Amino acid sequence: MEYIAKPVLLGLLVAAILVLAFPQFRPQTDDDVTDLMTLSQSNLGTDWIGPVSYARAVSRAAPSVVNIYTLQAARSRSDASNRISLGSGVIMQSDGLLLTNHHVIEGAVKILVLLYDGREVPATVVGTDPEIDLAVLKIEADNLSPIALGEPSQARIGDIVLAIGNPSGIGQSVTQGIISAKGRNGLRLNIFENFIQTDAAINSGSSGGALIDAYGNLLGINTATLNNVGSTGISFAIPADAAAKVLTDITQYGHVVRGWLGISAHFGLASNEQGITKIFGVTSVEPGGPTAKAGLIPGDIIFKIDGFPVTDPHASINQITNVTPGQPVKLSIIRQDTVIEFTVIAGNRPLH
């Protein structure tokens, strides 16, 4: 027994020293497992709020997205066959007002809307705005589900977005991506451009559909995809607030109301004591237009609009068109090395 007791006691003593020196050798209790789980979860970061699934967002928004089928008139005598084209649309109001792209219904002699619940109803055109590529349609149907509007101005680059539409006519589909950029312009797709860029796929037939946030709120109307070689994952949507203004103006006035100054100008750079300044050089003034009445002449150099320096052509154009006709616009100009301040009363942009 003496020979057995001594090794056992020695082993227990070594084990006790190891446990004290190295706590990881201790057996795990239920409390230890809970602590490890808490630690593991804490490694996710306290600001993690993203959902694992976006099914709730889709189920909230999908009933508001419709498929649009149009019958296009024959192109010419040599091509007398009618054509069917595909697109998507978004229910904006419970009374049956929809938004889609102008190019989806352009030239259509008949428009058919397929609702989420399977009903098919004809649609009429209330009005269009080709300059931003939007159209307002009207359908007569009960129990419609208007989409909830989001806040594109608050959306951030990197936010998750979902595109809902009818790609290639296969039926309603959802693609997922992020906001890649905001305020995209200069693409020469429309006269007025202020796109949300996303890598969510917007395929043929999905134009006019909804770009929603992770909660099912409308952020934009899906409009276009770059199809150039090497441009995979570059799609664009018209911000929902701009689209909502088009709908309101068309239903209230019959057309979109935009501010107008009545000048033609070229964008350029000019040097001054502070360095290089971005400017608009006035090339012509519309006779009887707002700027002509205020006293501007060709050759004037505009370097500020309402106190804001000229930054780029599209931002300045949007700044002017967003002014309500009848409201004053202050222009800071240089004429023969002299700075002059003009107040121009914005007019209503002529229809094109």
Q: Which residues are catalytic?
A: 103, 133, 207
Helices (H) and strands (E) counted in the chain, each on its own, are: 7, 20
Q: Give burial (CB, 10 Å; 0-12/13-18/19+) of 171.
A: exposed
SS3 165: strand
In this structure, the chain runs to a length of 352
CB 208 within 8 A of CB 87: yes
User: How far, in Å, CA of 90 to CA of 166, rounded?
Assistant: 12
> Helix, strand, coil: what percent of the chain each, to 5?
25, 35, 40
Pairing label, strands 65-72, 108-114: antiparallel
> Is residue 308 within a helix (H) or strand (E), and if so which, with residue range?
strand 308-309
CA R_g for the chain = 30
CB 301 within 8 A of CB 334: yes
The b-or-e profile of 255-274 (16+ CB within 10 A means b, else e) is ebbbbbbbbebeeeeeeeee
Written as six digits, the tokens of 43 are: 């490694």
Q: Give burial (CB, 10 Å; 0-12/13-18/19+) of 159.
A: middle
Residue 284 CB: number of other CB atoms within 10 A? 12
Residue 299 CB: number of other CB atoms within 10 A? 12
Which amino acid is residue 103, in one-letter code? Answer: H
Q: Give burial (CB, 10 Å; 0-12/13-18/19+) of 139.
A: buried
